[in-house]
Amino acid sequence: MLIKRTNKWDLSENDVTPESIYHQRRDILKKLGIAAASLPLASNATAGIFDVFSNNDQKTIDNRRPLSTIKSPLSDPNLSLTPENKITQYNNFYEFGTDKSSPAIRAENFVTDPWQVKIDGLVNKPLTLNYDDLFSLFPLEERIYRLRCVEAWSMNVPWIGFSLSDIIKRADPTSRAKYVAFQTLYDPKQMPGQASRSLGGGIDYPYVEGLRLDEALHPLTLLSVGLYGKTLPPQNGAPIRLVVPWKYGFKSIKSIVRITLTDKQPPTTWNMLASDEYGFYANVNPTVDHPRWSQASERFIGEGNIFSSRRQPTTMFNGYADAVASLYKGMDLKRNY
């Protein structure tokens, strides 16, 4: 490829794919009667054929726009990135079905513009952001973070966004504000999982999440509007989603329409569904197992086939202990899981 490499992710898929998979792909193409050389390997047109997570070849419409970003000291440039096609095709977004491959397919036509996010509750200056505000109100930073799902898999993602604290400060919380509640869009016409209990995993929608105010104001807590240099695909929570890198992935609520400052700990979706398995805090902690599986290690989703992804130890607060451990000083982290 003659593309100038300005970023890690400008590597062609060729470069990040082990030889064996590469040849396997050529074989599949041959069987299908497609000349390998005639197709760009990383294009959407071929993605379905090679999708190791699903066995259909439906395309997702890519309306993603490039975003320009500034560097952030909170980004970890040493993390090896999970390939973009895995971040965008192996998802948890139950509003679009419970299979990992469902969101990319079912969210294909999800409308994210126009969009509104309300910031209300215990604030002196309630505000409403429109779609364009999400990309223009604050400088967009790139933050390469670890993402650890409670299901014991992990990815490294180059998110784009701004600190949640920027928006909270603008709304000017009153002294009574102690927590922040988040809500995903409720639109069963667009989100089939909200219209069907079986498709949506039995969750009572809208999906809701919450943080303590000091967690919400921590600079690492990100509102993300993009990844891999472009706006978010719908399956990753377009147009705006939360990212709290030291907590299990389910805290990182997608497609947010409302952020409410409150004086009480807000109800959270997975905690309501199974409170003995999913707590309010949900801090990544290798010493506190899920009742049904160990949290001591995780399957890192990197290059290559998902089933041969390597296992690695899980670290306290997902590797962010130096930055966030002080938030939980004196707390029993086994009880407050």
Ligand X SMILES: Nc1nc2c(c(=O)[nH]1)N[C@H]1C(S)=C(S)[C@@H](COP(=O)(O)O)O[C@H]1N2
Pick from 239, 227, 77: nearest CA to 158: 227
Q: Which does 91 bind (CB under 5 to 8 A by kind): Mo ion, ligand X, none?
A: ligand X
Q: How far is the CB of 290 from ligand X (least distance, A)?
A: 13
Inter-residue contact 104 to 89 (CB < 8 Å): yes
Q: Token digits for 331?
A: 């707390």
Q: How far apart are CA 74 and CA 32, in angstroms?
A: 46
Nearer CB in complex with ligand X: 173/200: 200
| 281 is known to lie in a ligand binding site | no
Nearer CB in complex with ligand X: 177/225: 225
- The reply to whether 149 sits near Mo ion by the rule CB under 5 A is yes
| 268 is known to lie in a ligand binding site | no
Stretch that binds Mo ion, among 3-11, 45-53, 144-152, 164-172 (CB under 5 A): 144-152
Q: Which does 146 bind (CB under 5 to 8 A by kind): ligand X, Mo ion, none?
A: none
Residue ranges in contact with ligand X by CB under 6 A: 91-95, 147, 149, 184, 207, 236-237, 249-250, 252-255
| 124 is known to lie in a ligand binding site | no
Q: Which does 224 bind (CB under 5 to 8 A by kind): Mo ion, ligand X, none?
A: none
Nearer CB in complex with ligand X: 122/149: 149
Q: Which does 96 bind (CB under 5 to 8 A by kind): ligand X, Mo ion, none?
A: none
Q: Which does 200 bind (CB under 5 to 8 A by kind): Mo ion, ligand X, none?
A: none
Q: Token digits for 189?
A: 């016409």
Nearer CB in complex with Mo ion: 106/251: 251
Phi, psi of 58 (to 5 degrees): -65, 140
- The reply to whether 159 sits near Mo ion by the rule CB under 5 A is no
Q: How far apart are CA 78 and CA 91, in angstroms?
A: 24
Q: How far is the CB of 108 from Mo ion (least distance, A)?
A: 22
| 94 is known to lie in a ligand binding site | yes
Nearer CB in complex with ligand X: 17/91: 91
Q: Which does 252 bind (CB under 5 to 8 A by kind): ligand X, Mo ion, none?
A: ligand X
Give the footprint of Mo ion on residues 232-291 (CB under 5 A): 249-250
Inter-residue contact 164 to 261 (CB < 8 Å): no
Q: Which does 236 bind (CB under 5 to 8 A by kind): Mo ion, ligand X, none?
A: ligand X
| 241 is known to lie in a ligand binding site | yes
- How many Å from the N-terminal Cα to the C-terminal Cα in the chain? 48
| 256 is known to lie in a ligand binding site | no
Nearer CB in complex with ligand X: 84/95: 95
Q: How far is the CB of 299 from Mo ion (least distance, A)?
A: 13
| 145 is known to lie in a ligand binding site | no
Q: How far apart are CA 299 and CA 278, in angstroms?
A: 20
Binding-site residue ranges: 91, 94-95, 149, 184, 236, 241, 252-254
Binding-site residue ranges for Mo-molybdopterin: 91, 94-95, 149, 184, 236, 241, 252-254
Chain residues that interact with Mo ion, rule: CB under 5 A:
92, 149, 249-250
